[in-house]
Amino acid sequence: MRNIFIYVLLTFSFAGCSPASDRKVKDAQESIREDIKDQKDKTVGDLQSLRDDINDRLDHVSGRIDKATDNSKVELENLKSELIVARERVEKKLDEIDKSSDDTWDDIQQSSRNTADEVKVEFEKVKKRLKEKLD
């Protein structure tokens, strides 16, 4: 939203000006596009890293489920389910980012950050419970 406001402000500020002013507007527009792309790339990288961590933990839990006793197996299955839900939330945000336009980026970026923060907290709790269970 902030980027769009700046874009509109610059466009109106330079409207009807010289070719040099037109170039400045185009340069500002390109700079905004590059900033948005950089922000998207960073957010996508963070979410992909989180998803990879979740997948690694899922692999670990799945390997332990096969060797677990009945009580442990139920608890590990529950942890596995929680990890799968967390991974699905991250993948949903990655999909939203992929489909986002520059106009919707600010809202999606904030939503993605919130989801990443929430999933990280949940993931840490699951890791702690898993560590306690496996120790």
Q: What global pTM score does this model have?
A: 0.74
Q: What is the pLDDT of residues 20-59, one digit of tens each?
A: 777 877 877 788 888 888 888 999 999 999 999 999 999 9
Average pLDDT, rounded, for the chain: 83
Distance CA 20, CA 25 (A): 9
Cα–Cα distance, 8 to 118 (Å, whole number): 34
Percent of the chain with pLDDT over 70: 85
* Dihedral pair phi/psi, residue 84, rounded to 5°: -65, -40
